[in-house]
A and B are shown apart, each in its own frame.
Chain A
Amino acid sequence: MPKPPLYETIQRTPKLADRVAQQLQALISTQHLRPGDRLPPERDLAERFAVSRTVVREAVRSLVAKGLLEVHSGSGTFVRVVAPEAVTESLRMLLRSSAGSYDSVLEVRQLLEVEIARLAAERATPQDLAAMEQTIVALAVTEGDPEAFARADVAFHAALARATQNDLFVILHDSIFDALLEVRRKGAAQVPGTVQRALYHHSDILRCVRAHDPLAAQEAMRAHLEESRQTMLRVLA
Chain B
Amino acid sequence: MPEPELYAAVARAPKLADRVAQQLQNLITSQQLHAGERLPPERDLAAMFAVSRTVVREAVRSLVAKGLLEVQSGSGTFVRAVKVATIAESLGLLLRSRSSGSAHAFEVRQLLEVEIARLAAARALPSDIEAMEQAIRELPGSEANPDRFAQIDVAFHTALARATQNELFVILLNSIGEVLLQIRRETVAEARSAERALFHHRRILERVKARDAEGAQEAMRAHLEDVHSTLARLLSREGQVSPEARG
Contact = CB atoms under 8 A, between A and B. Distances in A.
Residue of A93, A107, A119 contacting most chain B CB atoms (<10 Å): A93
Interface in A91-142: 91-98, 100, 104-105, 107-108, 111-112, 115, 119, 137, 140-141
Interface string B5-30: 10010000000000000000000110
Nearest to B137: A2
Interface stretch (A42-50, A81-89, A212-220, A228-236): A81-89
Interface stretch (A52-60, A165-173, A184-192): A165-173
Contacts of B93: 28, 35, 67-68, 79-80, 82
A90 B86 contact: yes
Contact of B90 (A86, A104, A111): A86
B45 interface: no
A75 interface: no
A30 interface: yes
B77 to A, nearest CB: 16
B82 A94 contact: yes
Interface residues of B, number: 54
A15 interface: no
Contacts of B67: 86, 89-90
Contacts of B141: 4
A13 interface: no
Q: State the majority secondary structure of interface residues on A.
A: helix
B50 interface: no
Interface string B77-115: 000101111110111111111100000110110011001
Interface string A144-167: 000000000000000000000011
B166 A29 contact: no
A190 to B, nearest CB: 22
Given A28-B96, A105-B168, A141 B66 contact: no
B172 interface: yes
Given A86-B65, A111-B115, A91 B29 contact: no
Contacts of A35: 93, 96-97
Contacts of A167: 94-95, 98, 104
Contacts of B82: 90, 93-94, 97
Given A85-B66, A86-B90, A98 B97 contact: no
B140 interface: yes
Given A97-B35, A140-B2, A172 B172 contact: yes
B244 A31 contact: yes
A34 B112 CA distance: 29
Contacts of A107: 119, 166, 168
Contact of A100 (B104, B111, B166, B182): B166
B176 interface: yes
A94 B87 contact: yes
B91 A95 contact: no
Interface in B48-66: 65-66
A93 B108 CA distance: 21
B64 to A, nearest CB: 10
Contacts of A108: 166, 168-169, 172
B167 A141 contact: no
B68 A95 contact: no
A12 interface: no
Given A166-B104, A169-B108, A11 B96 contact: no
A1 interface: yes
Nearest to B114: A111
A82 B87 contact: no
B229 interface: no
A93 B93 CA distance: 19
8 contacts: A34-B96, A67-B93, A91-B87, A93-B29, A98-B168, A141-B8, A168-B105, A168-B176
Given A94-B171, A104-B166, 16 more contacts: A11-B145, A31-B244, A67-B86, A85-B66, A86-B65, A86-B66, A87-B90, A90-B90, A92-B29, A96-B29, A96-B31, A97-B35, A98-B167, A100-B167, A108-B168, A167-B98
